[in-house]
Amino acid sequence: MRHHGRMHTRRIDAAGVRDSPEVSHLHRRVTSFRARRSTLSAGQQETWERLWPVLGRQARDSDGRPPGRLNTAEWFGRSAPVVLEIGSGTGVSTLAMAQEEPHLDVVAVEVYRRGLAQLLSAMDRAQVTNIRLIRGDGVDVLEHMFGPESLTAVRVFFPDPWPKARHHKRRLLQPATMALIADRLLPGGVLHVATDHAGYAEHIAETGDAEPRLRRVTGDLTALPISVRRPVTKYEGKARDANRAVADLLWSRGA
């Protein structure tokens, strides 16, 4: 999902999602992500074959059907607060933040197999056990694999901004997606979004502020149930070098 170096550019949108109080039914979204070569190194392939059956899942089966609700306690082997990261890219931030918060269980969602394989290999090397991976569309995962009030946090870091006006409908963070995220968050749960695109930041801020179940978080962040301190990735470093300001936007779900 991240547009870090355009290697793992998100080509998924949430256009056409119906915004309803229960968020019980969503129209089929226009999904448009580019097929990419996902050749893995020999080491990544070995790790994938060994660990993916245990640590990874698909958002849809071979017939295109969603698998149903996740039992995260069974998958992780414990009961812990769950954080969903939509668009984990190569997993640099995912791994670092999971290491800093071992009491949280992190579910990382990404379309591209190579990015997931890089994260899986890094997890294996670091012996990190509190991350699980899903390959597919983040809105699919929210809609079908998690129930209402099941998530402590949702993270969306550097989603594709789709900068051309005619492509804005492809942006992930539309009003209906914000409503779905709010529905899935526990009361007090946090939505953390980061972007280096000024126009998209304005759009995200307006959309999040318009969702009645979310309230903007400012000031003291120590009372939040998760850390909002992100590692500076290579992509973010380049954005800063190019004088592109990075906006971190935070909301908490009300009771």
Is 160 part of the annotated catalytic residue set? yes
Main-chain dihedrals φ then ψ at residue 218, nearest 5 degrees: -140, 170
- List beta partners, residue 31: 12
Main-chain dihedrals φ then ψ at residue 93, nearest 5 degrees: -65, -40
Q: Active-site residue among 13, 105, 140, 160?
A: 160
What tokens were used for 81?
A: 């607060």
- List beta partners, residue 132: 107
Query: How many other C-beta atoms lie within 10 A of the C-beta of residue 58?
Result: 12
Q: Computed from CA positions of residues 6, 169, 119, 198, in that sequence, does the dihedral angle turn out positive or negative?
A: positive
Catalytic residues: 160
